């Protein structure tokens, strides 16, 4: 959905050029940068927004007897002697002893070294400046592979404070710094888009100066996230996000809604068919939604509720209101497994109310798919459940009134708009099982209305959560074995980390093979590389009880519902985020049996991992867990965005800059009240900002009127 470049202000062209336009970046390096910057075709601006994680300070040059081990230091030394690797041990390191006037020595250690190269780099008797991490090894001060070795003249050219960047394999600091230097020199003069009075009051640098200072710092504290430069860019990013959300909202509001009101007959039939009464907060959410639907404005409501708090039922009752008014509803889930799960929950209730339901995923093909599409456009289907297959060109509704989107953060703004364009002024209800802290709701959804399902649904059992070291995994296997022999069912989850998918998959398959050896045919395996049909078959075997132990990668995280499962084993729990662990744990405790969750961790644990596992033992309140998760990890991972490419922040760190969100939202509202077409001088400048942070789709909405 990227539109013509012609709308982009010309002054930005140098920043939107490919990285290969920078000196020293060829096609090979471009591939590595694509990985580092998580973009298929990285541009100069993407590199500039890759901010330093620290700095090397060469201004202090300690004497050798003052050097603290473990720190990056720069020292001036005289080369005393070369100790090449002995000829019979070519893999032994090449050592060079250096000293200064304090009688202390520093040994420089090189592996796989070339003698002639080192003799030229560090000639005996000469003075050299050496920079790197000093460590004590065998009682001696050593530096392995110094970052820099330069003579007097070279030292005069070195930056005294040098930024250090997050890297990826194959990209060293030298390469990134060289490219970054090229990128910084391409920064054009840009118009100021922030409020001039605010910039003056807060003593904020301009956008370009902030980037210059972060990539060419004078002092190490120039690059801290709390400092003025980083804060300036973070506020820019927050404002770009809030402005884009406000433009989307204004666009949706401009297409005035159509009220769908109904007597509530269908709703009553569904509630009657339910085996239990709605909880207080479910009832409240239903009332809010029914009121929203009756109004002539479009609804945009977020329904947050923990795993199993009954969001699907609330969504179905909402759908019943528009269906009774003679219109249609769509229910969109992020994966096929989830779409089928929703169908399973909804079908019996819809049948009781006489609502016609169908499902559309990538699996429906040929004549079956055509039949569904024909019925849909005629209005013979009231409620269509599906995956993003619902967006495809050829899917046309008779009269779509309500779109329900499950697990919103897996769908970007594009898809949200695409689904609502399938009808005339479609109302939107977004469901999420990840309780999202308030600050994040603002940053991701702007001023969406929110309903929360706070109570545990009826029949939910408390879950006994325990932590166990990996060294005691046999005991866990024994316990699982005992449970299986009593006819119980258990999940065994292995982590799946994108970078090393092969290794992780091998680990899951190995664990499966081992458990299979012990417990035979009652063990099954499900992972992300399997085809949809295979996955469903494995899930089916488990839910009918044909198998009792399901080894899985995290594909079972969301929405899988097997009330008979009472044991959840999570291997390498320290590798998972809090929200993810909470989601996984929520797969048990759904039936009448006492449930247990065993978190297996590999010792020793880091501080954050320790805190994470402790919180899980203490509480099952998803809202509290989400707040803690935010505190411990920052926003990107709370929403699982790191894996799913949703609008995580490049620069802003919510735990540090979150306090500016409210101001950014108010500022965006003020700007659009005065200048809804961004036509004024500041409005034109703000268009630059939207492009720089990739929010330019919002500009098209102004033109779409």
Name which of 121, 142, 128 is nearest 75 in CA terms.
Answer: 128
Looking at 415, 434, 453, which one is the last position of a domain?
A: 453
CB burial class (10 A; 0-12, 13-18, 19+) of residue 550?
A: buried
- The pLDDT of 169-182, averaged and rounded, is 86
**Same domain as 415, residue 284:** yes
- How much is the CA Rg of the chain, to the nearest whole Å? 30
- Of residues 488 and 39, more confidently modeled: 488
Of the residues 392, 422, 453, the one at which a domain ends:
453
Greater confidence, 563 or 313?
313
What's the pLDDT at 416? 63
When pLDDT is averaged across residues 643-662 and rounded to a whole number, the result is 69
- Residue 638's pLDDT band, with cuts at 50, 70 and 90, is very low
Which one-letter DSSP state was computed for residue 136? E
In a domain, residue 400? The reply is: yes
Long-range contacts of 21-29 (CB under 8 A, 24+ apart): 22/47, 22/179, 22/182, 22/183, 22/186, 23/178, 23/179, 23/182, 24/175, 24/178, 24/179, 24/182, 25/179, 25/182, 29/171, 29/175, 29/179
The confidence band for 411, taking pLDDT boundaries of 50, 70 and 90, is low
pLDDT averaged over every residue in the chain: 84
- Per-residue pLDDT at 161: 87
pLDDT at 93 over 70: yes
- Tokens (6 digits) for 50: 């890759």
CATH of the domain at 432: 3.40.50.300
The domain that holds 132 is classified in CATH as 2.40.50.140
- Residue 252 is predicted with a pLDDT of 65
Q: Looking at residues 488-504, what average pLDDT do you find? A: 73
671, part of any domain: no
Residue 444 confidence (pLDDT): 60
Proportion of the chain above pLDDT 90, given as a percent: 38
Same domain, 550 and 431: no
- The answer to whether residue 22 scores a pLDDT higher than 80 is yes
pLDDT value at 637 more than 50: no
In a domain, 682, yes or no: no
Give the DSSP H/E element, type plus range, for residue 217: none
**Among the ranges given (395-399, 492-496, 514-518), the one the predictor scored with the smallest mean pLDDT:** 492-496
Q: Does 425 have pLDDT greater than 50?
A: yes
Q: Are residues 447 and 584 in the same domain?
A: no
pLDDT number for residue 108: 94
Percent of the chain with pLDDT over 70: 88
501 confidence band (pLDDT: 50, 70, 90): low
pLDDT of residue 115: 87
Both 270 and 222 in one domain: the answer is no
Name the phi and psi angles at 359, rounded to 5: -125, 145
Give the pLDDT confidence score for residue 533 in this predicted structure.
80
DSSP E strand boundaries for 571-676: 595-601
**This model's pTM is above 0.75:** no
Same domain for 392 and 470, yes or no, is: no
Which range (241-245, 380-384, 546-550) has the least confidence? 241-245
Total of domains in the chain: 4
SS3 703: helix
Residue 21 near residue 122 (C-beta atoms within 8 A): no
C-alpha distances in Å from residue 229, one per residue of 214, 216, 275, 314, 565: 7, 12, 58, 46, 52
Pairing of strands 105-110, 94-99: antiparallel
Comparing 212-221, 335-344, 392-401, 550-559, the range with the smallest average pLDDT is: 550-559
Q: Residue 99 and residue 109: Cα distance in Å, rounded?
A: 14
Q: Which residues pair with 428 in a beta bridge?
A: 300, 403
Average pLDDT over residues 486-490: 91
Q: Are residues 287 and 388 in the same domain?
A: yes
> Which pLDDT score is estimated for 633?
57
Residue showing tokens 């050798």: 64
**Distance, CA of 598 to CA of 476 (rounded, Å):** 8
Alpha carbon distance 383, 331 (integer Å): 7
**362 & 480 share domain:** no
**Helices and strands of the chain, counted as H and E runs:** 27, 21
Q: Which residue has the higher pLDDT, 121 or 338?
A: 121
- Joined together, the tokens standing for residue 487 give 């006819």
Averaged pLDDT for residues 288-308: 83
Q: Is the confidence at residue 33, as pLDDT, over 80?
A: yes
Instruction: Name the pLDDT band for 3 (thresholds 50, 70, 90).
Output: very low
User: Does 509 lie in the same domain as 449?
Assistant: no
Count Cβ atoms within 10 A of the Cβ of residue 52 and give its class: 0-12 exposed, 13-18 middle, 19 or more buried: buried
Rounded Cα distance between 207 and 239, Å, is 13
Q: Quick check: is 291 in a domain?
A: yes
pLDDT at 641 over 50: no
Same domain, 148 and 194: no
Q: What is the DSSP string of 18-77?
A: BGGGSTT--HHHHHHHHHHHT-SS-BHHHHHTS--SEEEE-S----GGGPPTTSEEEEEE
- Band of the pLDDT at 674, cuts 50, 70, 90? very high
Quick one: which H or E segment has residue 258? none
**Which of 109-118, 168-177, 550-559 is least confident?**
550-559
Same domain, 438 and 416: yes
Give one DSSP letter per residue of 449-494, joined into a string.
EEEEE-SPPTTPPPEEEEEEEGGGHHHHHHHHHHHHHTT-EEEEE-
Closest CA to 332 of 272, 411, 268: 411
Confidence grade of residue 635 (pLDDT, cut at 50, 70, 90) = very low
Q: How confident is the model at residue 643 (pLDDT cuts 50, 70, 90)?
A: very low
What are the b/e assignments for 652-676, b being 16+ CB within 10 Å?
A: bebeebbebbeebbebbbebbeeee
Q: Is pLDDT above 70 for 432? A: yes
Q: What is the mean pLDDT of residues 515-534?
A: 86
Q: Are residues 185 and 102 in the same domain?
A: no
- pLDDT, residue 334, reads 80
Band of residue 186 on the pLDDT scale cut at 50, 70, 90: very high
Measured CA to CA in angstroms, residue 483 lies from 473, 487, 544, 568 at distances of 15, 7, 17, 12
Task: Read off the pLDDT band of 644 (50, 70, 90).
Answer: very low
Question: For 497, which DSSP code?
Answer: -
More confident position, 675 or 460: 675
> How large is the average pLDDT for residues 196-205?
90
Identify which of 79-88, 218-227, 248-257, 349-358 has the greatest average pLDDT: 349-358
Q: Among 231, 202, 254, which Cα is nearest to 672's? A: 254
Of 579 and 558, the one with more pLDDT: 579
Using an 8 Å Cβ cutoff, are 443 and 665 in contact? no
Q: Which domain holds residue 185?
A: 5-54+176-232
pLDDT band at 688 (very low <50, low <70, confident <90, very high): very high
Average pLDDT of the residues in 144-157: 86
Is residue 355 within 8 A of residue 382, CB to CB? The reply is: yes
Backbone angles phi, psi at 192, to 5 degrees: -80, 120
Give per-residue pLDDT as tens, 577-600.
Answer: 787 788 888 888 877 778 999 999
Q: Which range, of 23-27, 46-50, 92-96, 158-162, averages the lowest pLDDT? A: 158-162
- 468 forms bridges with which residues in the sheet? 600
- Domain-located, residue 66: yes
Is residue 541 one of the residues assigned to a domain?
A: yes
Residue the block writes with tokens 């339901």: 357
Reply yes or no: is the peptide bond before residue 248 cis, omega within 30 of 0: no
Mean pLDDT of 639-668: 69
DSSP state of 297: S
Residue 140 has pLDDT above 50, yes or no: yes
Residue 582 is assigned to a structural domain of this protein = yes
| Whether the predicted pLDDT of 529 surpasses 70 | yes
Query: Is residue 170 domain-resident?
Result: no
- The residue among 99, 124, 158 that closes a domain is 158
Weakest mean pLDDT among 204-213, 533-542, 545-554, 574-583: 574-583
Q: Report the pLDDT value the prediction gives residue 4, as an integer from 0 to 100.
A: 44
User: H or E stretch including 393?
Assistant: none
Let me know whether 14 and 146 are in one domain.
no
Q: Packing angle between helix 438-445 and helix 228-254, nearest 10 degrees? A: 60
């Amino acid at each position: 959905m990227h539109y013509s470049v012609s709308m982009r202000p010309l002054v930005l062209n140098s920043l939107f050029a490919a990285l290969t336009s920078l000196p020293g970046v060829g096609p090979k390096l471009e591939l590595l940068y694509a990985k580092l910057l998580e973009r298929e075709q990285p541009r100069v601006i993407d590199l500039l927004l890759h901010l330093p994680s620290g700095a090397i300070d060469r201004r202090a040059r300690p004497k050798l007897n003052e050097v603290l081990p473990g720190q990056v230091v720069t020292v001036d030394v005289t080369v005393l002697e070369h100790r090449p690797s002995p000829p019979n041990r070519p893999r032994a390191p090449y050592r060079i002893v250096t000293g200064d006037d304090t009688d202390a020595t520093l040994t420089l250690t090189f592996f796989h070294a070339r003698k002639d190269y080192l003799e030229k780099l560090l000639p005996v008797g000469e003075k050299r400046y050496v920079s790197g991490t000093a460590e004590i090894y065998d009682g001696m001060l050593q530096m392995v592979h110094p970052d820099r070795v330069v003579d007097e003249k070279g030292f005069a050219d070195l930056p005294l404070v040098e930024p250090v960047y997050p890297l990826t394999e194959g990209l060293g600091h030298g390469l990134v710094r060289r490219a970054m230097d090229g990128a910084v020199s391409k920064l054009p003069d840009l118009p100021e888009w922030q409020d001039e009075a605010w910039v003056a009051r807060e003593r904020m640098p301009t956008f370009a100066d902030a980037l210059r200072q972060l990539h060419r710092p004078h002092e190490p504290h120039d690059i801290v996230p709390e400092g003025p430069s980083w804060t300036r860019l973070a506020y820019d990013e927050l404002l770009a996000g809030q402005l884009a959300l406000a433009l989307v909202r204004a666009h949706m509001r401009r297409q005035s809604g159509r009220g769908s009101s109904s007597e509530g007959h269908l709703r009553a039939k569904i509630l009657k068919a339910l085996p239990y009464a709605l909880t207080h907060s479910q009832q409240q959410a239903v009332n809010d939604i029914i009121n929203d639907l009756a109004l002539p404005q479009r609804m945009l409501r977020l329904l947050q509720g923990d795993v199993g708090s009954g969001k699907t039922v609330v969504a179905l009752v909402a759908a019943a209101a528009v269906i009774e008014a003679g219109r249609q509803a769509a229910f969109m889930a992020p994966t096929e497994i989830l779409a089928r799960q929703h169908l399973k929950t909804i079908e019996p209730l819809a049948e009781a109310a006489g609502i016609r339901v169908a499902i559309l995923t990538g699996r429906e093909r040929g004549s079956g798919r055509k039949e569904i599409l024909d019925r849909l456009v005629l209005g013979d289907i009231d409620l269509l459940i599906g995956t993003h297959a619902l967006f495809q060109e050829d899917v046309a509704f008779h009269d779509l009134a309500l779109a329900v989107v499950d697990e919103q953060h897996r769908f970007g703004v594009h898809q949200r708009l695409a689904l609502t364009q399938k009808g005339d002024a479609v109302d939107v209800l977004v469901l999420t099982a990840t309780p999202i802290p308030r600050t994040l709701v603002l940053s991701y959804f702007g001023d969406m209305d929110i309903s929360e399902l706070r109570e545990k649904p009826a029949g939910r059992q408390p879950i006994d959560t325990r932590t166990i070291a990996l060294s005691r995994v046999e005991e866990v296997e024994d316990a699982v074995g005992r449970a299986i022999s009593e006819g119980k069912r258990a999940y065994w989850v292995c982590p799946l980390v994108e970078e090393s998918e092969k290794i992780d998959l091998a680990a899951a398959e190995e664990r499966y093979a081992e458990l299979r050896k012990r417990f035979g045919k009652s063990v099954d395996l499900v992972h992300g590389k399997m085809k949809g049909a295979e996955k469903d078959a494995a899930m089916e075997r488990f839910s009918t009880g044909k198998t009792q132990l399901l080894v899985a990668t995290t594909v079972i995280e969301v929405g899988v519902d097997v009330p008979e499962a009472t044991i959840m084993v999570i291997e390498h729990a320290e590798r998972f985020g809090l929200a993810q662990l909470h989601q996984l744990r929520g797969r048990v405790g759904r039936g009448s049996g006492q449930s247990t969750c065993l978190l297996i961790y590999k010792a020793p644990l880091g501080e954050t991992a320790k805190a994470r596992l402790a919180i899980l033992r203490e509480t099952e309140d998803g809202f509290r867990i989400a707040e803690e998760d935010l505190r411990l990890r920052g926003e990107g991972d709370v929403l699982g965005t790191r894996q799913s490419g949703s609008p995580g922040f490049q620069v802003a760190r919510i735990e540090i800059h979150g306090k500016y969100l409210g101001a950014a939202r108010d500022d965006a509202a003020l700007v659009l009240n005065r200048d809804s077409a961004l036509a004024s001088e500041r409005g034109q400048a703000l268009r630059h900002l939207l492009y720089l942070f990739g929010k330019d789709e919002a500009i098209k909405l102004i033109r779409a009127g």
